[in-house]
Amino acid sequence: MRLVILILQRSAILSLGLVGIWLIVNVFQSVDDELPSVLALAATYALAAYVILPYFVRMGLMVLRHQHVPHFTITGDGLPGDPVNLALIGTFDELRDAFAAAGWHEADPLTLSSSWGMVKAFVLNSAYPKAPFSTLYLFGRGQDIGFQKAIGNSPRKRHHVRFWAKCLTEAETVDDIFWHGTNRPDTREPVLWVGAGTKDTGFSLTRLTFQITHATDADTNAERDFVMAELARQGAIGIVDLYDAGEEISAGTVNHYVTDGIIAVAPLVTNEARRGTGARMA
């Protein structure tokens, strides 16, 4: 029975792929009759990369949906995004203070103005330490906050991490309901900050849809360890524990990332406690 299901899945994926190719070819033939070839190619690329391919990839993921507890974020067009690889426990202020102490910058909100600033910085290779992030989705909503640390002065290379807040009482049982909640808890109280950390390394196209994006280091395990080490050096977190993202999730490849499916979890340390520890060590 399992073999039959596998054959049916692969047949469906092949059919979707053929239909997608047929549709892209027909789009090009249609616009090529009305526009110069260069413009026809540009229009076909835009429709294929941002409309047609994302739609067919989403359909394929529905066919192959065998892990009902996700361990990765979702892009705006419904495709797999960055893997979830770390979590911190504390208040909103403690989270901001921890990354500030480690020399990281909070990302600017994504607006037309900040997006244009990022485009200029990317093209001119000029510094933008608080550059905005694209929106990724977890728990049915975009990230609550993000932090970054530039590599040199280039906006093309940076360490960055997005966070989504989750109520601690809901975090006691990691199941399907946990991952699909949409309400942002009161972050004046301690919450679980579920994070997805990756390292930007330059310019690239996405693997499945060929959209323009940052190139990223595939080893998100190394980036998880880097972020936690940065915070630990400042005494901003307590003991780090390691947890699986979910019982039905195995190690493997998410999008073009290599991840072991492990989430590093640590409590945040208050400014007062951090200063007290520094005083005792001195």
CA 144/CA 167 separation, integer angstroms: 13
CA 254/CA 226 separation, integer angstroms: 20
Quote the tokens at residue 60.
């394929």
Q: CA Rg, the chain, in Å?
A: 21
CA 161/CA 36 separation, integer angstroms: 42
Given this model, what pLDDT does residue 1 score?
A: 61
Q: How many CB atoms lie within 10 A of CB 95?
A: 24
Given this model, what pLDDT does residue 66 score?
A: 41
CA 272/CA 267 separation, integer angstroms: 15
**With contact defined as beta carbons under 8 Å apart, do 230 and 42 qualify?**
no
pTM for the complete prediction? Answer: 0.68
**pLDDT, average across residues 207-212:** 51
* Tens-place pLDDT, residues 240-274: 988 775 433 333 344 455 666 788 889 999 877 76
Quote the tokens at residue 206.
């996405």
Element holding 65 (H helix, E strand): none
What is residue 144's DSSP assignment?
S
Q: What are phi and psi of 68, to 5 degrees?
A: -85, -10
Quickly list H helices, 134-270.
Answer: 168-171, 176-180, 220-233
**pLDDT, average across residues 215-235:** 90
**With contact defined as beta carbons under 8 Å apart, do 237 and 268 qualify?**
yes
* Sheet with 141-142, side-by-side order of all strands: 80-83, 72-74, 137-138, 141-142
Given this model, what pLDDT does residue 282 score?
A: 38
Given this model, what pLDDT does residue 280 score?
A: 41
